[in-house]
Structure 1
Amino acid sequence: MRSGEMNKEVIKKVITLLTMVILVGTTVIWIMMPTSTYKKTWLTPMRAKLGQSVYFGKPGVNLLVYMFPMILLAFLGCIYLHLKKQSSFDQLNSGVEERKKRDKFGALRRPMLVKGPLGIVTVTEVMLLTMFMALLLWSLTNYFYHTFVTITPQSPAINGDNLWEARLDSIAVRLGLTGNICLAFLFYPVARCSSLLAAIGLTSESSIKYHIWLGHLVMALFTSHGLCYVIYWISTNQISQMLKWDRTGISNLAGEISLVAGLVMWATTYPAIRRRFFEVFFYTHYLYMVFMLFFVFHVGISYSLISLPGFYIFLVDRFLRFLQSRNNVKLISARVLPCDTVELNFSKNPMLMYSPNSLMFVSIPSISRLQWHPFTITSSSKLEPEKLSVMIKGQGKWSNTLYQMLSSSRQIDRLAVSIEGPYGPSSTDFLRHESLVMVSGGSGITPFISIIRDLIYTSSTNTRKIPKMTLICAFKNCSDLSILDLILPITGLTTEISSSLDIQIKAFVTREKEPTCNRNIIKPLCFKPSVTDQPISPILGANSWLCLATILSSSFVIFIIIIGIITRYRIYPMEQISKKYNSAYKSLIYLLSISVSVVATSTVAVFCGKQKHYKKNDRNVDVLSLMMNESSPQQFLSQSTCIHYGERPNLKKLLVGLKGSSVGVLVCGPMRMRREVAKICSFGSANNLQYESISFTW
């Protein structure tokens, strides 16, 4: 190993150690927060020292204790991922040793719960969920204990109320405090470029279920918090309190506005509404801005800083996505399949690299200016360095409109498209398996197309041993078999597929007992992009993680400087005179400072990224003729395909008994199929089956 690689490994180990220290410290703080020890022994001395600062005042304590550690963790995660990406050691020499290392923890990634409201949950997820619920119960128990012990008939807290009314008032406060714990973690899973997720091998798509779980907990606790106060105000004849907006304390009206916005979002997340009225779900979720704004007004900026770190990281990610979506990308061709499916092929900057299973959000203004839909990328950035492809199945109003537009006889010279992404895992480890079984239903085959293409490229380099691949795909109709023609790209395969590549395709047509159509009727289309259309490029340039680390650190430093100056020369002098400063104004100052710092640093970073590393591709490729020609690799794939009509795949028979110490079982399709595969590979079943679900049905 070269000295440079050794230095990178040392730095990564130091980052890992520092990260563990920060995580342990943060965990201890969350555990101790509901106790009297934290309030009297820890918080009081910190407020006595830091709370008197002329630059930050009372919010300075929470800035240091809650916000700074999480921003530092995100920064360290970016540096770690940058070093990992640059390390050739990680890319080329992680074979047998990596397999042994990961197999030690293979049981923790196996499904433990298959049915139930939580869906398919692994052993690790059950452990983490149990620990988080234990934290919530610990907090509620501590809060309620102090409520019932300290509030007695002789307690001064009664203040003319009945005993149950005083306790209800205290319980309402404690429910809100516990809800804030869930809110603090709510936005981490939906930051698509989050280094915190990528560093532990997660993506925002695979973490959406955590956001859903946390969202339900947040709204259940905050709704209970609000109902308790409404009952308390009614019982004590204080209905007017509902309209109170205290100048320096808690604003009840702001809390009610925040709760109403949250309830509207919550109501549209239920599957019956989300699936049938996706547009309603999509648009109402923008109320998160109202929800967070009035939450900050409700509790004040000092307490809000406990839950703002996740929102801060999300804001950076969201603004970067906004900047990327302002440009139209270069759509060069399409393939229209007879099964209400289209493949869109975009021009790509060669320096844009992404892993298999990545996805991209697509917007077509001619269909809808506001709607964005996620689609799995079917191309391989290694096999097709200058092209990126996505497959879109007509399953809703938006996608059906696109299919009708492209399949009509009317010639379309150009289609304006905007994108966000690609987003996906920072790395993949499919090569650690001896064999790879991919199980799909319908359009669930799309992530496996990218995996197969990526492994085809790897086999041509002869640098790693390629696992034996088996693709088990179920389709409803014969016409859906045309999707198999998308497994190989339009361009990129000019030679025979490597002899080391072992692939079998077992296709099942469930609703037809014999071929009823010609699946090879594929309509090719070519477009003439505008000169303003741009190839898809990484929004932050080649060193995206390093650039994101710069944005996070510099924006946070600028935010601290702005707040320090405003507090020292505006807020502190006024508080010295009147001892009070309008809480809403202070909250607004903090939020505007965060916004200004994020917008400024992100805009500069994106502008600098656009100036580098793009070399225009002027080659004229006859895409249409390439679409029409059948290559020898395509013939090889046809010979490896076995089609079964009128039956469903017997997954238990196909999976149980597979030979090999490590068999990767990937599944993407309907929930029923995923549950069946998860049950076969679940905890306590065959030890060699390593289950992984790929689902984009959020």
Structure 2
Amino acid sequence: MLIAVLGCFYLHLKDKRESSLESNSSPQTHLAMLRRPLLVIGPLGVVTAMELVFLVMGIALVCWHFGHYYYVSVKHPFMGHGREHQKKWQITLRTVSLRLGYASNISWAFVFFPVIRLSSLLPLVGLTSESSIKYHIWIGQVVMITSALHSAGFFIYWAIVSQLYLALEWSKTHVSNIAGEISWVFLIAMWITSFAYTRRKSFEVFFYTHQLYALATFFYIVHIGAAWTMQLLPGVYLFTLDRYLRFLQSRSRARLTSVRVLPGGTVEMTFAKSRGLHYNVASNLFVSVPKISSLQWHPFTVSSNDNMEPDRLSIVFKTGGSWTTKLYKELSSSSLDRLEVSVEGPYGPASTSFIKHETLVLISGGSGMTPYISIIREIIHQSNTQKGKVPKVVLICAFKHAADLTMLDLLLPAESSPADLSNIQLEIQAYVTREDQAPPASNGQDLLVHTNWFKPSPLDSPITPVLGHNSWLCLCLIIASSFVLFLILLAIVTQYYIYPIDKNTNSLYDFTSWVVWDMFLMCISIIFISSIVFFIQKKKMAALEEKQIKNVEVPMPMTSPGSWLCGGGGELESHPYQSLVQATQVHYGGRPNLQKILLESKGHDVGVMASGPRGLRHDVARICSGCGATNLHFEYLSFNW
């Protein structure tokens, strides 16, 4: 908790955005080596040397935790009531099972940190909740393994000593066994539906089942009691605070200004945003559309650029599952004049140092190109504002069908001052894998990018920062104040309510009630302080929101570089679009030879990024980790959930 508070001060004082733009230095050599892909293993994905070190350290911590408590229990055995006549191996089995529970508890203590979106801890080590999802998965696997061994060990022990009735015990004075079993049932359901196949094919099943985390955590805390809950407190506390702040932000309806509907099921949604909201390239925005589902939140990559479009924020998605298909049909309707949308975020990477490479090779498959839109726009902006040297950009994108080439139209904003592409070296290699030749020339009407503008509503508002302009200072105030309030309330309740009952009765205070008191006081403290700070900041931002420029309807573009590449007719009157088309080469009937392209990349400092199917990302990582690829620096950003 102390590090979280100090981290807020540090992040406030360090202007990441300006330093990342003005710094001309390349990533440090020793850190770059630690970030190089070391292993590409199916279950773990792409693992760098630094991640492998922390993975080993994490496993060592769990093993040490288990070994330490087991050693203490052997040196100082506690026989307990009814165990005097049990055999030594039976007592050892129980001891091992119990200490595995302690090892599971230390894993629980870390499982929430990687998924705290408004975190002051993760940016200190260059991480965000998006890039830390795999750490959450790794820790979750350790939780499941240790919990399974803990539960199985006790069931075997109870069966051997004829005490299976203890499995249904909900004790008032010590551990509640049935509460632990209820938590385990919820964890099993979450674990089964959290594998990559289920997340990709049935996101709704994964999403709804994963909401059981609240019940699983509650019953687990009831199972272990108030004392052991203190080990989990920082992670649970900061996650609960983050979750409540996200809830407050999502109560406001975001102002959706326009959508661009592309052939092939691709859509760009544009929102109005406050000028006080700043975000890095490749950020993520969580979106909810109550008309489709009032509960589901889907993450999308932000395609707009904060510097080029200070009043707007855009996301791009391609139809895949049932939710995105329904949203595409809704937005494609010509009769739709407005849509109620709620958002959380945006949440972005802590660093954009990958822009400082000599050459930047961006490799994508299908809709995986969307994260690169904001990156290319940022490079265009830097080249036009003369903020240092910008890298040469090579975009390698593979599409299934020629109609998907219209996604290239999204590389430039739909509504902004004309971008000058003459100051950057941009090369686009587009591959159409399932068609052997370009489609026949037509009038291009079926390949046009259609833009729909929505009427503004007084109930909608631009996307604003969750905690205002000085968000890190506000977060620091909330963490410190709410935690102090929690400690004061906890001390009062314990001293004047719980302890008197302990002293005046023959039994201890109810085991479960004590835990419920802790959780209740924690939630009350967070809700009270967070609400005050949030609404004060919201009131300050209200005046700025009223000054937002109202959106006006503009002519719909009649062509795009993507439609020109597909054989559509029409003249290219915009010089930036014409430059974009000239920089693009389209190859039909094959896939890019990634190994040849990467190994032939010239320069001593080549940054490589991969976005798209899992196999594509792993192939690129393997190439970059090879002995002959010393000039290739694999830049890992999580674009897939």
TM-score (norm 2): 0.93
The CA distance in 2 between the partners of 1:646 and 1:135, in whole Å, is 51
Match of 2:495 among 557, 568, 592: 568
The CA distance in 2 between the partners of 1:277 and 1:365, in whole Å, is 19
TM-score (norm 1): 0.85
Aligned to 2:473: 546
The answer to whether residue 549 in structure 2 is matched with residue 618 in structure 1 is yes
Unpaired runs of 5+ residues, structure 1, are 1-70
Aligned to 1:68: none
Contact 2:284 2:345 in 1 (8 A): yes
Deviation per CA, 1:283-341: give whole Å up to 9, x if none. 11111111111111111111111012111111111111111111211111111111111
Aligned to 1:328: 253
Give the SS at the match of 1:667.
strand
The CA distance in 1 between the partners of 2:453 and 2:274, in whole Å, is 19
- The offset of 1:239, in angstroms, is 1.8
Aligned to 2:484: 557
The CA distance in 1 between the partners of 2:241 and 2:15, in whole Å, is 22
Deviation per CA, 1:481-536: give whole Å up to 9, x if none. 01000110012233533x32111111111110112274741121111132110111
- The offset of 1:577, in angstroms, is 2.4
Aligned to 1:665: 608
- The offset of 1:144, in angstroms, is 4.2
Aligned to 1:167: 92
Aligned to 1:488: 412
- Mean alpha-carbon deviation: is it higher for 590-599 or for 225-234? 225-234
Deviation per CA, 1:332-367: give whole Å up to 9, x if none. 111111111111111111111100110111111111
- Mean alpha-carbon deviation: is it higher for 512-521 or for 391-400? 512-521
Contact 2:282 2:348 in 1 (8 A): yes
The answer to whether residue 624 in structure 2 is matched with residue 681 in structure 1 is yes
Q: Decide whether aligned partners of structure 1 residues 254 and 397 sit closer, same or farther in structure 2, where only a CA change above 3 A counts.
A: same
The CA distance in 1 between the partners of 2:17 and 2:162, in whole Å, is 67
- The offset of 1:277, in angstroms, is 2.4
The CA distance in 1 between the partners of 2:343 and 2:427, in whole Å, is 34
The answer to whether residue 254 in structure 2 is matched with residue 311 in structure 1 is no
- Mean alpha-carbon deviation: is it higher for 330-339 or for 423-432? 423-432
Q: CA RMSD in A?
A: 2.1
Q: Decide whether aligned partners of structure 1 residues 215 and 86 sit closer, same or farther in structure 2, where only a CA change above 3 A counts.
A: closer
Aligned to 2:563: none
The CA distance in 1 between the partners of 2:322 and 2:488, in whole Å, is 48
Give the SS at the match of 2:231.
coil
The CA distance in 2 between the partners of 1:314 and 1:105, in whole Å, is 29
Aligned to 2:358: 434
Contact 1:491 1:626 in 2 (8 A): no
Give the SS at the match of 1:82.
helix
Match of 2:319 among 374, 394, 399: 394
Match of 2:522 among 569, 584, 594: 594
The CA distance in 2 between the partners of 1:545 and 1:304, in whole Å, is 27
Unpaired runs of 5+ residues, structure 2, are 560-571
Give the SS at the match of 2:394.
strand
Contact 1:151 1:167 in 2 (8 A): no
Match of 1:631 among 574, 577, 593: 574
The CA distance in 2 between the partners of 1:207 and 1:618, in whole Å, is 37
Aligned to 1:94: 23
- Mean alpha-carbon deviation: is it higher for 351-360 or for 129-138? 129-138
Contact 2:193 2:209 in 1 (8 A): yes
The letter for the 2-side match of 1:633 is P
Q: Decide whether aligned partners of structure 1 residues 685 and 560 sit closer, same or farther in structure 2, where only a CA change above 3 A counts.
A: farther
The letter for the 1-side match of 2:42 is G
Deviation per CA, 1:22-62: give whole Å up to 9, x if none. xxxxxxxxxxxxxxxxxxxxxxxxxxxxxxxxxxxxxxxxx
Give the SS at the match of 1:300.
helix
Identity across matched positions, percent:
46
Q: Decide whether aligned partners of structure 1 residues 650 and 114 sit closer, same or farther in structure 2, where only a CA change above 3 A counts.
A: same
Contact 2:203 2:321 in 1 (8 A): no
Match of 2:531 among 590, 599, 603: 603
- Mean alpha-carbon deviation: is it higher for 334-343 or for 157-166? 157-166
Equivalent runs, 1:436-451 vs 2, <5 Å:
436-451=360-375
- The offset of 1:620, in angstroms, is 4.6
Aligned to 2:179: 254
Aligned to 2:14: 84
Equivalent runs, 1:52-91 vs 2, <5 Å:
71-85=1-15, 90-91=19-20
The CA distance in 1 between the partners of 2:638 and 2:16, in whole Å, is 29
Match of 1:506 among 420, 429, 434: 429
Aligned to 2:133: 208
Aligned to 1:120: 46
Contact 1:184 1:307 in 2 (8 A): yes
Aligned to 2:451: 524
The answer to whether residue 633 in structure 2 is matched with residue 690 in structure 1 is yes
Aligned to 1:645: 588
Deviation per CA, 1:514-567: give whole Å up to 9, x if none. 122747411211111321101111111111111111111111011011111112
Match of 1:405 among 330, 354, 366: 330
The CA distance in 2 between the partners of 1:681 and 1:86, in whole Å, is 28
- The offset of 1:121, in angstroms, is 0.6
- The offset of 1:150, in angstroms, is 6.3
The CA distance in 1 between the partners of 2:198 and 2:606, in whole Å, is 38
The CA distance in 2 between the partners of 1:86 and 1:434, in whole Å, is 21
Give the SS at the match of 2:109.
helix
How many residues align structurally? 621
The CA distance in 1 between the partners of 2:576 and 2:173, in whole Å, is 72
- Mean alpha-carbon deviation: is it higher for 129-138 or for 311-320? 129-138
Aligned to 2:567: none
Q: Decide whether aligned partners of structure 1 residues 87 and 400 sit closer, same or farther in structure 2, where only a CA change above 3 A counts.
A: closer
The answer to whether residue 383 in structure 2 is matched with residue 454 in structure 1 is no
Contact 1:508 1:648 in 2 (8 A): yes
Q: Decide whether aligned partners of structure 1 residues 539 and 522 sit closer, same or farther in structure 2, where only a CA change above 3 A counts.
A: same
